[in-house]
Amino acid sequence: MLGFVFGLNPRLGRLHFFLASVALAVVMTAICFGIAMAVLRNTSPSAIRPEDLMKSWAIIAAIVFFGAATFTLQSMRIRDIGWDPVCVIPAWIALMIVDHVVAGRFPAWAIGQEHQATAVGALVNLVLMLALMF
């Protein structure tokens, strides 16, 4: 059982990946709601600045938890597909970083003013997420 929590070697089928993703989304929504309620209880809404929130230990811990859980789920699903997650996940991250840099350097290639990605990066992300789901 602990292999599913801490290991990247177990395999995870389509249905289990989907249900685990939904469960992770529900848990993260509850965590974010709890953090928001704690912040709003201590300060007024007009005094909240985003740069101050990113220094909060609760938000940093939530980001680390969500990132680790997401990488674990994706690694287990990628291994079940038959790919090597040690190669696929770093390549996926590298592609997203290059896409972000290209969109920042060439704003005309970005999806929109508020987005920091190109259509190619969005398409690759969509294809990889569909491969994980189906």
Classify the C-alpha dihedral 114-43-57-51 as positive or negative: positive
Give CA–CA dist 60/3, Å, rounded: 25
Classify the C-alpha dihedral 64-66-69-75 as positive or negative: negative
Q: How far is CA 3 from the centre of its chain?
A: 21
What is the distance in angstroms between the CA of the first residue and the CA of the last residue of the chain? 25
Which comes out higher in pLDDT, residue 53 or 89? 89
* pLDDT class of 41 with cuts at 50, 70, 90: confident
The answer to whether residue 3 scores a pLDDT higher than 80 is no
Helix, strand, or coil (residue 109)? helix
The answer to whether residue 101 scores a pLDDT higher than 80 is yes
Provide mean pLDDT across the span 86-105: 91
Give CA–CA dist 29/23, Å, rounded: 10
The answer to whether residue 18 scores a pLDDT higher than 80 is yes
Per-residue pLDDT at 112: 79
